[in-house]
Amino acid sequence: MPVRHIVFAVAPDLVLLDASGPLEAFCRAELTVAAAVGAGSGGKPAAPVAYRTTVASIEGGVLQTFPGLPIVTERLGSLDDQPIDTLIVPGVPIDETCTLQPELVAWIKRRAPQVRRVCSVCTGAFYLAAAGLLDGRRATTHWRNAANLARRFPKVQVDADPIFIRDVRESTDEDEGGVIWTSAGVTAGIDLALALIEEDVGHAVAMQAARRLVVFMKRPGGQSQFSAALAAQASAGGPFEALHCWMAAHLRDDLSVERLAERAQMSPRTFARRYVDEVGRTPAKTVSALRLEAASRALAESRRPLKRIALDCGFGSEQNLRRAFVRRFGVLPLDYRERFASAVAQRPTAASAAG
C-alpha cells in the first residue's frame, strides 16, 4: 500500500477546523490501517503506513489561526523536492475586500500540476480559483461565500448546496485536467476527507474513521439542511426578508418567479436579477429548498403521513416528494425520518405506517 503525502497549504488567519477536522480524519484512517496490517499496537505506528500529513505555510513557523490558537507550520518551499499526493487548501475569513496571499496563490498554481488531486475546504476555494484551477469547473464553498466566489471568479460554476464536489476533467493541450475537490464550510472538510479516504483505502476504513469521529460517513443532503430557512435567511434584514417569510408561510401556493415578482412589486426580469445578486441563488432554488426544509422538519418532528406532508409543503404528491428527497438528500423520505426523527415522530401510527 502506498503512503500518500497529504499537504495542507495554509494562509494566515487559517480557519482552524478547516484543517484540523480533515487532519483528524486522516489520522484515524492511518491508525485503522496500521492496526489492520499489524503495524500499530494501540498507538501511532512508528512509520506511516497509509498517510503522512504536513501543514505548511509560505513563511513556515508559527501561524495565527482564526479562533486565535497558534499552530506550527512547515515552510512550503521546503516541499519543492517532495512528492505530494493530495494538496488541501483550507479556508480563511473572506469578505468583499479580502486580499488573498499572492505568494500562496503562486505556489498553488506552480505545484498543482504535479499533484494527483487538489482540494479546498470552505473558502480555500478562493485560492484555487485565484490560481486558475477552477475555471470552467463546478465548485462549492461555504454557502455564505458562494455569491462572492461567483462574483469574483465568473469562470467558476459555483454550486452553493453540495457538501463537496468532485470535478474530473480530461487533460487537453490547453489544460492539465485532473481531479479537483471542493467542499463546503468548516466541518464539511471532514466529509471531504472521509470521501478521499474511501477512494484511497476503501469503504471499511473510511467507515471506521467516521465511527471514531462520531460523524456520518456520508451526510444526507447538502448545505441547505444546515441553514435554517436556508440561505434565504442569510439575507435577513435585506430587501427580500419579508418575501422569504411570506414564502415560508405559503409553500402550498404558486411560487413561480412571476408570482414572487408580483409580490415583490417588480417585473419578473428585474426581480430574478436582483434576487440572484442579493441571495446568491435563483428564486426557484430557494423555493425548492424551503419546501425541502419544511418537509424534512415535518418528517423529523411529526408523525404525519407522506401524502399530507407532500401537500402541506407544496410538492403536490408523494411521488414528487420522494423524487425531491432522493435528488437532494440521496435517501427516501421515510429513511430520512428513521434517521433524524424525534421520539414523537418515531412512534408509529396507522396513518404513518401507511405512508
Catalytic residues: 122
Contacting residues for 79 by C-beta, under 8 A, at least 6 apart: 7, 54, 56
Q: Which long-range contacts (C-beta less than 8 Å, at least 24 apart) are formed by 152-158? A: 152/126, 153/126, 153/129, 156/125, 156/129
How many other β-carbons are positioned within 10 Å of the β-carbon of residue 157?
15
Burial 74-96 (b: 16+ CB within 10 A, else e): eebeebeeeebbbbbbbbbebee
Give the whole-angstrom CA distance, residue 78 versus residue 330.
Answer: 43
Assess contact for 192 and 121: CB atoms under 8 A.
yes
Q: Half-sphere exposure (CA, 13 Å, Cβ side) for 107? A: 23
Joined grid coordinates for residue 262: 408580483
Give the whole-angstrom CA distance, residue 143 versus residue 312.
Answer: 27
Nearest to 298 by CA among 230, 344, 349, 233: 344
Q: Indicate the residue type of 52.
A: R
- Using the structure block, give the residue that is written with the C-alpha cell 407532500: 310
Give the whole-angstrom CA distance, residue 225 versus residue 329.
Answer: 9
Nearest to 162 by CA among 196, 138, 198: 138
Give the whole-angstrom CA distance, residue 270 versus residue 292.
Answer: 26
Nearest to 272 by CA among 262, 288, 285, 257: 257
Give the whole-angstrom CA distance, residue 18 versus residue 20.
Answer: 6
DSSP element (H, E) containing 122: none
